[in-house]
Amino acid sequence: MASIELDRSSPLPLWAQLEADLKRRLDSGEFDDGVFPTDQDLTTTYEVSRHTVREAIRHLNKTGVLKRERGRGTVVNRAEFEQSLGTLYSLFQSVESSGVEQTSEVLELGVVRDLAAATHLGVAEDTDLFLLARLRLAGGQPLAVDRAWLPLSIAQPLLDVDWQHTALYDELRKAGAPVPNQGWERLTPIIPPAGDRNRLGLRKADAAFYLERLGTRDGDPVEWRTTLIRGDRYRFVTDWSAGSSTSLRPSVAEEKS
């Protein structure tokens, strides 16, 4: 490849210019075959030092665009599934709409009492709740650990459902129970606890998305859900087109103050 010149008279550091140009090339699909230049290739192409290259790559690694793999070097981190933020969606439908089969392994199914879930659902702490905890698989590979709590008064029929290949909202609809049509979500990057990390096949230092959702039906709480999603297989996208809107919610600590 011919040399690419960076602007050495610019106040922007060379590593930042290199990062921006690599991001541009990534967005254009230049590396869609998954092959990314080696550090040596980049020092030659951009005529910069190895330190400059490593700093640019380090920042791209931090944003999740690239990742270092033992024996392979730097590779493009392509998520397999996308989901728009600000929409009420089904993980099941989101995966299957891409042509990949989504199945589930039930981790827990039963009646429980849970203070945090009861608080979000607006019921007394000793209220019996339906709990469905699943390991969600896409194409047979772990994608997410999903836990949903609903008032037992509306979810009792769901205790007899075969959850291997179906969606919670579809089963609510079949049972004549209220299905969420509103709600809010909070998305946080976390290092998963050991149990869920092992279920998802993640390494000790791998981060994941931690999604909290309160689903309501015409304003009445129906579902409290937490979902831990592999960040290397799933990504969220925000639509900034005309008419779309985004709101910020306080953190848990702020809500209590």
Taking only the tens place, the pLDDT of each residue in 36-83 is 888 899 999 999 999 999 999 888 776 656 766 666 677 666 544 445
Residue 249's pLDDT band (boundaries 50, 70, 90)?
Answer: very low
Domain ranges of the chain: 14-76, 81-256
Question: Could you tell me which CATH number the domain at 14-76 has?
Answer: 1.10.10.10
Taking only the tens place, the pLDDT of each residue in 145-177 is 999 999 999 999 999 999 999 989 999 999 999
Rounded Cα distance between 5 and 45, Å, is: 8
At position 241, the amino acid (one-letter code) is S
Residue 17, SS3 per DSSP: helix
CA Rg, the chain, in Å? Answer: 22
Rounded Cα distance between 110 and 129, Å, is: 8
The pTM (predicted TM-score) of the whole model is 0.62
Question: Could you tell me which CATH number the domain at 81-256 has?
Answer: 3.40.1410.10
Q: Do domains 14-76 and 81-256 have the same CATH topology?
A: no
